Amino acid sequence: MLQEYRSLPILIFYLSLASALAGHACLTIYYRYQTCKTNVQWQRKHSHKLVLFILLACASLASTWFYMFAFFAHSYRSWRSQCTLAQLHELERASLPMKGELWLRDTKLFKQAWETVSETPERHWWSGQIFLFTIAWSIFLGVMGRRFNIPRVWTYMLLGQVVAISFAQSLFAATVVVSLPRQSRSPPQQPATASRSDDHSRESKTLWVPPALLELGPVLISLLSAAVVPLVAHTSYFMPMLLIPHLLLFVPGILSPGMLPRGWGKSQPVAVVARRYAMVFKWLSTILVVLVAQSTYALAVTAEGALWRRLLSAMSEHPAVSSVSWDVVCCFLVVVSWTAAHLGGVSEML
């Protein structure tokens, strides 16, 4: 009997994996919070940030997965409407698990979802941005994971890909907040002296940095792949082009001294590393803004009607599009919240 179930276990595994990854991230936050909650300075400076990112994680999960389950239901109804009379008769006699098995056996949910969100320029305007947010975040994952000694940061990328990027971003931001290094108590100092002391401490600490080619190469390839994806929708090239960024964006998060040959990468003062990544993010942000501006301009000149109305209309055209577009909205809120919580200072954000 169990041999009859081939596709349903895959969906069950997918949902179980999503739950396990989310649980792992939440436990990491909980255990690290237990360590720093008694620190008065941490409570004063960072406790509100933790609450903010937990709330953003909840909002992201609720908004994206409401529509994800709606997509599952929509896909099942669409599949059922195309069944023959013989298949419908078989469905009437089948158990609920077998109905799910028969549906999943004939439906490629992952491919169906991404082809749906890439079908029109308006839909791709939303889905393309989730690629761009993920590309930039992959670099952030790697550097912050190494700086704050957060193990297995690749699990956050996996969590983002199986649940929602904004959900994983929020949980990772919360993890960084509870992983901030404690500052030891010291006698009162004059403000200028304290500032010089902080600068000296920052300059004296070092952080390992991987080779630029290994870290930035996957990002550039992913940018090219993301640009090609809508052009190859409903062709045999669609899945390979879609999987390239999904796989390559794990690379920045898994780079470490232990996995590379001796001499690959180098340790530099944290302040130097912060300036390096500030430059990387400035260039990357410029590229992303240009890409979004280009796609927005192309939309504005190729069709009639107010652009914002067409984009809002696209959000509600299909549950898969709704899920991705709300993920984009939540990603934007997370990035803005992170920047605002650190007053826009690069030295604080990195």
Q: In angstroms, rounded to a whole number, what is the distance separating the alpha carbons of residues 171 and 53?
A: 7
pLDDT of residue 171: 98
pLDDT band for position 97 (50/70/90)? Answer: confident
For the ranges 187-201, 235-249, 256-270, 325-339, the maximum mean pLDDT occurs at 325-339
Answer whether residue 191 is part of any domain.
no
Range of the domain at 163: 2-38+47-179+200-349
- Residue 345's pLDDT is what? 59
The verdict on residue 122 lying in a domain is: yes
pLDDT for the residue 204 = 57
Torsional sign, CA 315, 318, 319, 321:
negative
pLDDT at 180 over 80: no
pTM for this predicted structure: 0.88
Which pLDDT value is given to residue 350? Answer: 60
- Indicate whether 250 belongs to any domain: yes
Residue 96 has pLDDT above 50, yes or no: yes
Report the candidate in 63, 64, 62, 57 with the shortest Cα–Cα distance to residue 170: 57
Looking at the 3D structure of the chain, how many domains does it have? 1
Structural domain contains residue 190: no
| pLDDT, mean over the chain | 86
Q: What is the DSSP letter of 340?
A: H
Average pLDDT over residues 216-238: 85
**Residue 189 in domain:** no
At 112 the three-state DSSP class reads helix
What is residue 346's predicted lDDT score, i.e. its pLDDT?
58
Q: Is 70 exceeded by the pLDDT of residue 308?
A: yes
- Predicted confidence (pLDDT) at residue 198 exceeds the cutoff of 90: no
Backbone torsions φ then ψ of 268, nearest 5 degrees: -135, 160
- Residue 205 pLDDT: 80
What is the per-residue pLDDT for 190? 44
pLDDT band at 333 (very low <50, low <70, confident <90, very high): very high
What is the percent of the chain where pLDDT is above 70? 90
Q: How far apart are CA 344 and CA 335, in angstroms?
A: 11
Query: Is 278 within a domain?
Result: yes
CA distance 107 to 74: 12
- Considering the domain boundaries, does residue 110 fall inside one? yes
* Segment 136-179, tens digit of pLDDT: 999 999 999 988 989 899 999 999 999 999 999 999 999 999 98
Confidence of residue 199 (pLDDT cuts 50, 70, 90): very low
- The pLDDT tens digits for 13-53 are 999 999 999 999 999 999 999 988 888 888 888 889 999 99
Contacts of 327 (CB under 8 A, 6+ apart): 60, 63, 64, 130, 164, 165, 166
Examine residue 184 and state whether it is found in any structural domain, yes or no: no
